[in-house]
Amino acid sequence: MTAVSAQLMSLETMNQGKIAFVRFYAYLGLIAGLAGLAYFGPGGYGGETDLLLFLSLDGISWGGIGAVAGLAVGAAISMLKPEWSDSKSASNLVPWLDGALLMILLAAVMALFEPNQALISYENQANLISGRIVMTMNMLFLFSAVSYIAYLFAPAAFIGQLATWSAWAGVYAGGSALLLRWYESYLISEEIGHAPVSNLYEVFILLFCITSIIYLGMERRYQAKALGAFVMTLVSAGVFFGIWLDSVGQGDIKPLVPALQSYWMKIHVPMNFIGYGSFAVACGAGTAYLFRHWLEGRGGYTRLLELFPTLDQLDQLAYKAVAIGFPAFTLATILGAAWAAEAWGGYWSWDPKETWALIVWLVYGAYLHARISHGWHGKTLAWWAVAAFLVTLFCFIGVNMYLSGLHSYGQLA
Amino acid sequence: MRNTATDIKSAILRLGSMSLAIVLLSVLALASIIGTVLIQNQEQADYLTQFGPLWYAVFKALGLFDMYHNWWFLSLLGFLMLSLSVCLWRHVPRMFKDMRNRKVIIADKSLQRFHHLHHWRLPGVSIEAIRAHIDAQLTGWKLQTAEKSGRTYIRADKGRYHKWGYILVHSAILVILTGGLMSVLLGLRGNMSVPEGASEKTIHFLKGSDMVSLDMPFEIRCNDFFIDFYASGQPKEFRSNLTIIDDGKEVLTADIIVNEPLFYKDVYIYQASFGDGGSDIRMKLFHMDGSQRTTTLKSNVYETYTDQKTGISLEFTNFSPFNIENMAAPGQPKQFQNLGPAVEFIVRGPGLKPVKIKSFMNPLIVNGENNGSFMLISLTGNASDYQPFYLGMDLTNPKEWQLFHAFNKRVTSNPESNDPQASLKAFRHALSEVYGNQKPEQIQILGGHIMQGMRALSNLPWPFIPVLEDYDQIYYTGLQLSSDPGMDVVWIGSTILMLGLCIMFYMPHRKVWLVLDPGDKDIRVSFGGMTNRNRLGFEREFHGLLTGLEQAFESATEKRSPA
Ligand code: HEM
């Protein structure tokens, strides 16, 4: 056994049994501590200054106490009820939380390289670090897409590894760039500071990361590497759009209009993008299905086909992605309705964005029914997954470009 | 007779079919698109000009201008409710029955059909030992055992209540639609505008294509309205200080901002918009008849001042105390500057083309240099067509107005005024006439002002220049009032929906069977499994159980066999 694989082994055990269980509780404690600070802390919920609150001494002590308390609870439970510590949910969730923590640490390290406060201004944001990290993310995602495609034609294990690792690196670059951007918004001015989910540019980065994470999770569980060529190509198309957005000045940090100054924004928007991201992966799986189907129809291509999951697996993967996206999107819509009820006085106004969200929801609802009822085959549903994603895209971008309404703060220039 | 009865029954049952559900969901999706493409609830006249009389009549008959409240869209929703009810009625009893009694004994034929099936032959192990291993492997599964003709059947379930997911999701949609219906029938939503210092009782809302009004059981007074701006000029906060007056008594005073409404007597009061509530405006008119005369004019936003002598009128349309603009050249880093208060008005007069003007109170100061008074003029009346018009002189400084006249008088009285030498001389004389011995600083700039003034003023078609002199700003706050008894029903429905979806997607029903069939030499063990959702996940799970059992059985037989 080589040293590397021994190390990998020990990483595996880190995510199992007691270690994972106790760590999971520590994370829960940390989150509970910060939530407690936000709601019951001395200053109370500080509206848009929450990031500063979490980074303050108060944040460190509340979060720290929470984490230690969580650790203690986890340890106690795993002693008293050892069989509970085999819980699947802890070992499934802990790697994600580790990843989040790593992202935060990365962002913290990058923050050390920010220019001197005196050089930071709203008018000229070119010297901020996050822009460069986003560019790195763009390059990593593009590189990953190219590698995944190359892998289809030259299926060497190392090319596959390269593709996967660059996609992961892209996720970490994107995630930490967003966190850094959040911090930078406060550096520019405390009154401007806000979570980086307020305009099209920011949510695009979020979308790339979420789409990639969902895909990479599937790749790990179901050995579906060929799918990467399709999903990461979609992401790359988005990357070009993001670069264009930045070039026309949409990439700047801008202050929040009053309508967006609400904690709902931080819940509603990311939840929506879990939905969109899953639907993008479903679209990738649908395209892969159609591609494989076409290849099979033409005959030959055995080497290429060997790399692909079977048609049935692709069909199942698309369903899996929708199964993640549909509840998330439903929840996001409900949260949006709750926000609308609080901000506009009605939970539903038939505003174009809302209506298109409903359309997206109905289309995927029909997809789910079509799966269960008889007589619908993989190919129709694969087309459906692709078409439904086009509807989703219209809901996401088209509405902002072509239709007016209450959500028009997302308007393109 | 019987035939019609069964026909009706089958028709009703068909209402609850899945194909109908797919069609209904798709048709609703398509219908919803219409209302997002066709802007809803505009003025009828606008629609008429947009579509022409024929299509206007067709669209109106189809109710497309109020798409989401027309009879056929509502019927579609009603049909969905009906279909859901039939669907629930058809499926729920069977599901309950299935969930209650679960067959443990399974026919061989059914077992053979399972996707996942494995057999072992285990020699020299007791049934009890095997059972112990099975129990150890299947922790977390609900186990049931039965025996029949010497065989032991073990059934293990996970997610047994999966069908509740279906029941909850579909009833939740019924609940949400019911809540929506309650909102439409019993809810109330309308707008009111309250100028600062005034109070208001009536709300206005659109009913079909007509505006209707309704008196609320209380009055709202707006004590104050504030806007706070970011340094870049975007609004940061809109805040109204309101007092509720109920039955002549002041019961409650509070601030509201966007996203933080006020709640009183089942009515939510939201900050929705704002505007000028008729600010007091004082304009200074600089008469251009050579008399150096200035007069003042007092008016209010939304009012029109008409000059009796000339027939020229100023219709004041808006006032804004802050006008923050990016002064940087295109491509340069932005440079925001507050240009100060400005009033907008439309000038009309006999023989004059109406123009829209935005007149600033302060001179334009760029990089510390005073560039004189200025205004924006739009010949089309659209704000997007505003062009800057530099008056040259700083009209807030009375000396410059005097200087202009002193200079003008000399130049016009002198026919050789085009000669730069002569102009310079005239300017010097004018300077000493106005300023005496105390010469101003920056004479160069002052000269520039006056020259620009000479050029600019000759282009103005009006007998006077209207410049904003003073103001007393009054805002109105735009409030939205709503009360919605259906809202809580919708939230309850939403919660049930989420709960149901989680069960439906994340707790699939998984069943495995172990059949132990003791023979002469060994025990035959059959292990089969199936699920109704998430086959990929189940494959892994089944495989995990399989390897676990395999290892357990192997070690059990190994322990025995050496003996
Ligand atoms: C807005 C309306 C509806 C929504 C959002 C909805 C949602 C869903 C969802 C998410 C599933 C689960 C799919 C899966 O497990 O993959 C489902 C299953 C099902 N739906 Fe609907 N549904 C709606 C309307 C209807 C209607 C109108 C009918 C009947 C006419 C219906 C009949 C069924 C049936 C029979 C199942 C399968 C249940 C099972 O065997 O697990 N649904 N529905």
Interface of B with A in 121-180 (CB under 8 A): 139, 180
Ligand 1 atom closest to residue B505's alpha carbon, by position in its atom list: 15
* Per-residue confidence (pLDDT) for residue A387, from 0 to 100: 95
Contact A404/B39, CB-based, under 8 Å?
yes
Q: Is B291:B319 a contact under the CB 8 Å cutoff?
A: no
B42 touches chain A (CB under 8 A): no
Q: How far is the CA of B229 from the centre of ligand 1 (A)?
A: 49
Question: How many Å apart are CA A9 and CA B178, to the nearest integer?
Answer: 55
Distances B369 to A33, B167, B366, B376 between C-alpha atoms, Å? 55, 74, 5, 19
Contact B480/A356, CB-based, under 8 Å?
no
Interface of B with A in 67-86 (CB under 8 A): 67-68
Q: Which of B23, B4, B10 is nearest to B86 (CA)?
A: B10
DSSP B394-421: -TTSHHHHHHHHHHHHHHHH-TTTTSHH
DSSP annotation of B500: H
Distances B101 to A405, B42, B94, B107, B141 between C-alpha atoms, Å? 53, 59, 11, 16, 17
Residue A272 corresponds to which tokens in the numbers above? 């929506």
Q: Which of A236, A234, A227, A232 is nearest to A288 (CA)?
A: A227
Chain A residues with beta carbon closer than 8 angstroms to that of B236: 191, 255, 258
Contact B26/A362, CB-based, under 8 Å?
yes
* Per-residue confidence (pLDDT) for residue A301, from 0 to 100: 80
pLDDT tens, position by position, for chain A (413 residues)?
A: 455 555 555 666 776 777 888 888 899 999 888 888 877 766 655 555 677 777 777 788 888 899 999 989 888 888 887 777 667 777 788 888 888 999 999 988 888 888 877 778 777 777 888 889 999 999 999 999 999 999 998 888 899 999 999 999 999 999 999 999 998 888 888 777 888 888 889 999 999 999 999 999 999 888 888 899 999 999 999 999 999 988 887 888 888 877 777 778 888 999 999 999 999 999 999 999 999 999 888 877 888 888 888 888 899 899 999 999 999 999 999 999 998 888 877 888 888 888 899 999 999 999 998 888 766 778 889 999 999 999 999 998 888 777 665 454 444 43
Q: Which of A235, A288, A241 is nearest to A398 (CA)?
A: A241
B497 touches chain A (CB under 8 A): yes
B534 touches chain A (CB under 8 A): yes
Question: How many Å apart are CA A315 and CA A379, to the nearest integer?
Answer: 9
Contact A366/B335, CB-based, under 8 Å?
no
Question: How many Å apart are CA A372 and CA B532, to the nearest integer?
Answer: 10
Distance from CA of A105 to the nearest CA of B (A): 31
DSSP B238-257: EEEEEEEEETTEEEEEEEEE
Query: pTM of this prediction?
Result: 0.83
B270 touches chain A (CB under 8 A): yes
Closest Cβ opposite residue B270 in set A189, A331, A345:
A345
Pocket, ligand 1, Cβ cutoff 6 A: A 365, 368-369, 371-372; B 16-18, 20-21, 24-25, 80, 83-84, 87, 91, 166, 169-170, 173, 504, 533
pLDDT in tens, B60-100: 888 788 777 788 888 888 889 998 999 898 888 888 888 88
Which of B67, B80, B90, B259 is the best mutation test for A, with the most CBs of A within 10 A? B259
* Per-residue confidence (pLDDT) for residue A166, from 0 to 100: 95
What values do phi and psi take at A98, rounded to 5? Answer: -60, -45
Chain B residues with beta carbon closer than 8 angstroms to that of A262: 259
* Per-residue confidence (pLDDT) for residue A413, from 0 to 100: 34
What is the rounded end-to-end Cα distance, in angstroms, of chain A?
58
Distance from CA of B353 to the nearest CA of A (A): 33
* Closest residue, chain B, to A260 (C-alpha): B259
* Per-residue confidence (pLDDT) for residue A8, from 0 to 100: 56
Closest Cβ opposite residue A327 in set B25, B26, B505:
B505
Closest Cβ opposite residue B22 in set A264, A317, A369:
A369
* Per-residue confidence (pLDDT) for residue A210, from 0 to 100: 95
Question: How many Å apart are CA B466 and CA B287, to the nearest integer?
Answer: 9
What percentage of chain B has pLDDT greater than the value 70? 97
Residue A106 corresponds to which tokens in the numbers above? 């990365």
Chain B residues with beta carbon closer than 8 angstroms to that of A350: 35, 40, 67-68
Contact A344/B270, CB-based, under 8 Å?
yes
* Per-residue confidence (pLDDT) for residue B467, from 0 to 100: 87
B535 touches chain A (CB under 8 A): yes
* Per-residue confidence (pLDDT) for residue A384, from 0 to 100: 92
pLDDT in tens, B35-54: 887 777 777 777 888 788 88
* Per-residue confidence (pLDDT) for residue B393, from 0 to 100: 83
Closest Cβ opposite residue A366 in set B25, B491, B536:
B25
User: Which parts of chain B have pLDDT scores under 70?
Assistant: 1-2, 208-209, 331, 413-418, 558-563
DSSP annotation of B521: S
Three-state SS at B509: coil
Question: How many Å apart are CA B393 and CA B467, to the nearest integer?
Answer: 12
Q: Is B240:B479 a contact under the CB 8 Å cutoff?
A: yes
Q: What is the 3-state secondary structure (H, E, C) of chain A?
A: CCHHHHHHHHHHHHCCHHHHHHHHHHHHHHHHHHHHHHHHCCCCCCHHHHHHHHHCHHHHHHHHHHHHHHHHHHHHHHHHCHHHHHCHHHHHHHHHHHHHHHHHHHHHHHHCCCCCHHHCCCCCCCCCHHHHHHHHHHHHHHHHHHHHHHHHHCCCHHHHHHHHHHHHHHHHHHHHHHHHHHHHHHHHCCCCCCCCCCCHHHHHHHHHHHHHHHHHHHHHHHCCCCHHHHHHHHHHHHHHHHHHHHHCCCCCCCCCCHHHCCHHHHHHHHHHHHHHHHHHHHHHHHHHHHHHHHHHHHCCCHHHHHHCCCHHHHHHHHHHHHHHHHHHHHHHHHHHHHHHHHHCCCCCCCCHHHHHHHHHHHHHHHHHHHHHCCCCCHHHHHHHHHHHHHHHHHHHHHHHHHCCCCCHHHCCC
Distance from CA of B9 to the nearest CA of A (A): 21
Three-state SS at B331: coil
Query: Which strands form B464-472's sheet, in the order they lie side by side?
Result: B294-300, B280-287, B464-472
Distance from CA of A209 to the nearest CA of B (A): 23
B457 touches chain A (CB under 8 A): no
Distance from CA of A364 to the nearest CA of B (A): 9
Question: How many Å apart are CA A77 and CA A72, to the nearest integer?
Answer: 9
Dihedral angle over CA of A346, A352, A358, A360, nearest 10: -150
Q: Which of A411, A410, A392, A359 is nearest to A275 (CA)?
A: A392
